[in-house]
Amino acid sequence: MASADILFGQATAQLTGEVTDNSGAATPGAEVTATAVATGVERKGTTNDSGTYTIPFLAPGEYRITVQKQGFQTISRSEVRLEVNQTARLDFTLTVGSVSETVQVTGAAPLIESDSSAIGQVVEKKAIEDLPLNGRNFVQLATLGPGVVGVGFGAKGTIMSGTRPDDLRPGSELFANGNREGSNNFLIDGIDNNERLTLAIALRPSVEAVQEFKIQTNLFAADQGRNAGATINVLTKSGSNEWHGSLYNFLRNDNLDAKNYFVPSTTVKPPFQQNQFGASLGGKIIPDKLFFFGNYEGFRRAQARTILSTVPTTEMRTGNFTNVRDIYDPTTTVAAAGTASGYTRTPFANRMIPASRFDPLMARMIQAYPAPQNSALTNNYTAVLKDRQRWDQGDGRIDWNWNEQNTVFGRFSRQDTTTTRPSTFPDSRVPGFEQALGLGNEDTFAGDSTLRSYHAVMSWIRTITPTFIMEAKMGYNRFNLVFLQEGATPGAQLGEKLGFKGSNQGPQSDGVPIISPGGYFGIGQTRSLPIYRINNTFHPRIDFTKLQGAHSFKFGFDARRRQITQYQTNRGNGRYNFARTFTDNPNSTANTGETMAAFLLGTPSTIEQDFTLVYPGFRITEYSYYFQDDWKVNSRLTLNIGLRYEYDTPVTEVANRQTNFDVVTGKLLIAGFNTDARTGVRPDRNNFAPRIGFAYRVRTGTVIRGGVGMFYNPSGSENVYIRRHRQLPFGPINIESINQFNPNPRLVRDGFRPIPNLVFDTVANNPEGGMLAVTPNFRSGYTPQFNLQVQQQLPKDLVAKIGYVGNVGRRLDTTYEFNQPVPGPGGPDPRRPLFGVAPRVPSVTFMVSDGLSNYHSLQASLERRFSNGLGLLSAYTWSHSIDTVANAFGGADNGPIPQDIRCRHDCERSASGFDIRHRFTQSLNYALPFGKGRQMTFGGSRVAEFVLGGWDTNAILTLQTGLPFTPTLQTSVSNSGGSRPDRLGKGTLDNPDPFRWFDTSFNSAGAAWGIPQQYTFGNSARNVLYGPGRVNLDWSLFKNFPVTERAKAQFRLETFNLFNTPQFDLPNPSIGNPAAGRITATVGNNRQIQLALRFQF
């Protein structure tokens, strides 16, 4: 048996079928040869006693299939296209004659799936290369098939979101068949490509490097697992006997883009420029033996954003508040019996603060604000900032057909991304300090980031016997992020140098404190930074395939060893908050007091500082074992029977630097100190995943498929599971609320308090501050899946599919506030469940695995692979997803979830935050039939050929209903956190519009909404209303200019949201708010136009 340029089993195809003679009798002993057209490599199979054959581990691509048997004519079938993860069926009928006589047949393998029960969708090379993609992100195409939605309507072209360079979810967020976005499994050539903390894609290969990919969404075979959502398996390009390559540049700028729906027509569009360029080359090193492929892609984006802010007036900077309101001296506060507050203060004369009373440091800091641009007291400064993003990505691959028994391939991919997001006042300077500090902290993630990702794989396939094949694989995935505050310099100690005592006492705390005066834009450096994150994933795998009679047995082992380092601090430089209350009349607060006066006096309302003292090293190992039998019971029926076992080790830290808060005793459990458990979570060793499916050929061209199976999700996420080093004793927090009636309050000049005493015994028995906790009985979520589908081959190479797809989710992970106060009067602390055992713990973010969900859908599609100038995919899904929990990361859900922790299941069971009832997509690749090499030519007219020939058009149409949302109450009446209103009517309108999307009538006769009784929760359920749907058409037009027989130049015009249809965001859900029901923003694109030049051969 000859070898082929084979890839890892999860990235290969399989050919099977039946060989008979003219009478319909089985023909054993016939030799079936599959020859790869691109490389000339052959693989052979032999029919068994029942006349069936199977050839596994074929690299996706075009093949020529030859069938030979002594005494019969040879049959040769060309243009057979095999796809990733496909089990293609080709049956042959032999005619008596000489083996030297050859019957030529042309035709692709049918798209109908007659030997597998898995539900999925292949996206072919033509669609990947030519469909309009904003940012050329292949993940966008995963939503073209039924059952898959991307909730974020925004452009997913960027490698990361615009505001969080540490978060790759916006570029890979998919919800497949009611499963959450963290339930997906991204693979490149069958190797793990997941960023474990955010459960998103780790490295995104260029479109130029992707041969095709398959997204499997239900009941995939036992050799695949780790997730209950979608498996997205990308097959990279390889070299061939013919040279092939490309050179391209894509350009976008603001000149060709439409304005946002809500932006006035007179407003100037912010500058924007984007270039995406690159090249690829593939070919032979040794014909039929050794091949290579490589590519490079660059991306450059400069995008302006406008921020409207409030800064102190020129008069305020000198202590003059005559144009504002009366201000009072906090140092004159004295007790006064009989007054409303019990205290009185003396006002500053003439609303002026003498310069002698200024805090010297704050008097300098107020000058760091830019001068106001008008005389208004609010919204008096507009900043236009330019964000920049750059990435460089490349792939290199070698395929080697060593000999007839051994095939080897290797690939290495690298991606370097840098993002610069300036703060609101990037040029701000403090008098006496020459360095520009980049102040303006309202943007949480302003700063400079560098992300470097690697992905590598080595594969060895050994043909032990013609019916027994081994495949060994080693993969590596690295994600390395450094995200620093703007202009940060390690060891700079900027806060201390300015005079903020104690601001730089923690590790990596070298910047300026956050200063947040209420009602004004804050200054100081951003919170939530720095971030240092390293994820290393080692992925060994070995698989065996044994062909025996009517059975194709597969079994193997898969492990993923993950090493994770995550360092982040929120307020490492400290934070000062200022409020009007310190300078108001305590008995007449409405029109007295001014925040900026408290700022100048240096009298903060709260002082905060976080300390992340360790650089943790987390370790997780995910083990999987599987057995699969694809049994051809007869010529019509195939059974897919499999069993998979998965075990994920609980998260450990290399030096036991993690804790777990015990919600029963109120104690803090410190790994290796007061508990023997290194993880705080008991191992879950019961994850057996059986699967059984069938495919029955009713007749030629008609198949009924179905089955059931069990699937598990990876355990935990960044939300809590891998953050428990960021609390006592490894991540202490100082939070100090200042008493406004103290005539000698703590001042800025007093500095920050030192790092707390971290004696383990003290913090374990007397915890203080907000806590993170994971239930000791945390278990992996699981999802039983089921489907029943009919497929029909139609004329013109069309395949129609219709069926039911469903699943039931159990033990889904979620978090909630465990220490929520019981509704009632008075302060919240005595009403908290843990007040008796942990009185100094106000909040506990508790992670559990008890969420429930179910999903039911009707899914239909009509597909034609690209041939003779036409390719299309139509997909429709009617579905309903219901669950009891919000997304692990919040996702599309909004409002208090749960509203009442004492009724988390029955009261919260409602539509999922990503529930889209109806969705239709249509993709199209169409080569207009005019020009050389097409159906209609111009009789040699060069002018007609140049003007009218060589045109292609491509399109993606999306129609879908809206997302659900939860009505909230503007003012909580429960005195226990957020509340919802009472629902008294439907709450919907017959003709909603952006100015009033739903019935907002409130607390009146006939109103849709009412106010609950005091100290109770409202009766409105979660996600009871739905927002606007989506209508979007992306369209492109290409003009091809032949250069040689194999080379062409191409001009592209691509439009995204061609008709500039507004993609409205959800409305304001706050009942009782004057803005309730109003939509004030869009999501996704206004119309954008992209131009490109491309040369390919």
How much is the pLDDT for 166?
Answer: 62
Give domain status of residue 490, yes or no.
no
Length of the chain: 1097
Buried b (16+ CB within 10 A) or exposed e, 1008-1017: bbbbbeeebb
d(CA 618, CA 34): 47
Shared-domain flag, residues 163 and 189: yes
Do 102 and 123 have their domain in common?
A: no
Residue 456 domain flag: no
166 with 140, same domain: the answer is: yes
Smallest Cα–Cα separation from 139: which of 224, 229, 203, 225?
A: 203
For residue 423 the two structure tokens come to 């703060």
Comparing CA positions, the residue from 32, 10, 42, 37 lying closest to residue 407 is: 42
Give the end of a domain, one of 212, 236, 260: 236
Distance CA 865, CA 121 (A): 12
Are 93 and 180 in the same domain? no
Instruction: Give the end of a domain, one of 62, 78, 106.
Output: 106
Do 83 and 178 lie in one domain? The reply is no
Range of the domain at 91: 9-106
In a domain, 1074, yes or no: no
Scan for tokens 């209303």, then name that residue: 1025
Between CA 445 and CA 484 the distance in angstroms is 9
> Three-state SS for 943?
helix
Residues 6 or more apart in contact with residue 683 via CB below 8 angstroms: 647, 649, 650
Q: Tell me the two tokens of residue 602.
A: 């240096």
* In contact, 871 and 126? CB cutoff 8 Å: yes
Q: Can you tell me the distance from the alpha carbon of 442 to that of 613, in angstroms, rounded to the nearest whole number?
A: 25
The C-alpha atoms of residue 249 and residue 136 are separated, in whole angstroms, by 12
Residue 542 in 3-state DSSP? strand
Angstrom distance (rounded) from CA 637 to CA 837: 63
Give the three-state DSSP class for 317: helix
> How far is residue 903's CA from residue 1018's CA, in Å, rounded to a whole number?
13
Peptide bond before residue 898 is cis, with ω within 30 degrees of 0 = yes
Region at 40 (left for phi over 0; alpha for psi -120 to 50; beta for the rest): left
Do 67 and 17 share a structural domain? yes
Cα(805)–Cα(790) distance, rounded to whole angstroms? 12
51 with 131, same domain: the answer is no
Candidates 1038, 1057, 1040; CA nearest to 1049 is: 1040
Q: In angstroms, what is the C-alpha Rg of the chain?
A: 32
Kindly state whether residues 13 and 81 are assigned to the same domain.
Answer: yes
Question: How many Cβ atoms from other residues are within 10 Å of residue 618's Cβ?
Answer: 23
Q: Per the domain annotation, does 510 fall within a domain?
A: no
Distances (CA, A) of 501 to 132, 355, 552, 731: 55, 22, 71, 20
- Cα(168)–Cα(188) distance, integer angstroms: 17
Q: Which residues of 143-175 are buried (b: 16+ CB within 10 A; e: fewer)?
A: bbbbbbbbbbbbbbbbbbbbebbbbbbbbbbbb
Q: Verify that 36 and 132 share a domain, yes or no.
A: no
Domain's final residue, options 202, 218, 236: 236
Q: How far is CA 564 from CA 187, 322, 351, in A?
A: 19, 56, 56
CATH number of domain containing 15: 2.60.40.1120
CA 1043 from chain centre, in angstroms, equals 41
Query: What is residue 429's predicted lDDT score, i.e. its pLDDT?
Result: 85
d(CA 380, CA 313): 9
Q: How far apart are the first and last CA of the chain?
A: 33
CATH number of domain containing 158 = 2.170.130.10
Among the listed residues 930, 929, 927, the one whose alpha carbon sits nearest the alpha carbon of residue 948: 930
Q: Which of 414, 460, 476 is nearest to 8 (CA)?
A: 460
Q: Which helix (H) or strand (E) holds 363?
A: helix 360-365
* Residue 835 placed within a domain: no
* Residue 769: strand, helix, or coil: coil
Quote the CA–CA distance of 685 and 712 in Å, as a whole number: 12
pLDDT at 937: 86
Amino acid in the structure at residue 890: G
Copy the structure tokens of residue 164.
């969080």
Task: Kindly give the pairing relationship between strand 13-21 and strand 92-94.
Answer: parallel
Residue 230, pLDDT score: 94
Instruction: Answer yes or no: do 99 and 127 share one domain.
Output: no
Question: Is 700 part of a structural domain of the chain?
Answer: no
Tokens of 104: 């030529």
Residue 440: per-residue pLDDT: 76
Q: Could you tell me if residue 993 is inside a domain? A: no
Closest CA to 305 of 415, 446, 448: 446
Residue ranges of E strands in 257-289? 272-286
| pLDDT of the residue at 370 | 93
Give me 862's structure tokens.
Answer: 């009509």
C-alpha 478/C-alpha 456 separation (Å) is 9
**190 shares a domain with 135:** yes
**β-pairing verdict for 968-969 and 1070-1071:** parallel
Cβ-contact 423, 446 below 8 angstroms: yes
Residue 353 lies in a domain: no
Residue with tokens 């209903």: 961
Helix (H) or strand (E) holding 913: none
Check residue 173 and give its pLDDT.
83
85 with 176, same domain?
A: no
* Residues lower than pLDDT 70 in the chain: 1-10, 107-108, 151-167, 169, 441-444, 487-488, 490-491, 716-720, 887-897
- Which of these, 379, 320, 397, 329, lies nearest to 351 by C-alpha position? 320
Q: Please name the residue that has the structure tokens 């029926």.
A: 637
Report the distance separating Cα 515 and Cα 577, nearest Å. Answer: 6
The pLDDT of residue 893: 62
Q: Which residues contact 981 (CB under 8 A, 6 or more apart)?
A: 967, 968, 969, 1002, 1009, 1010, 1011, 1012, 1018, 1020, 1071, 1072
Contact by Cβ (8 Å): 231, 224: yes
Number of domains comprising the chain: 2
Q: How many CB atoms lie within 10 A of CB 991?
A: 5
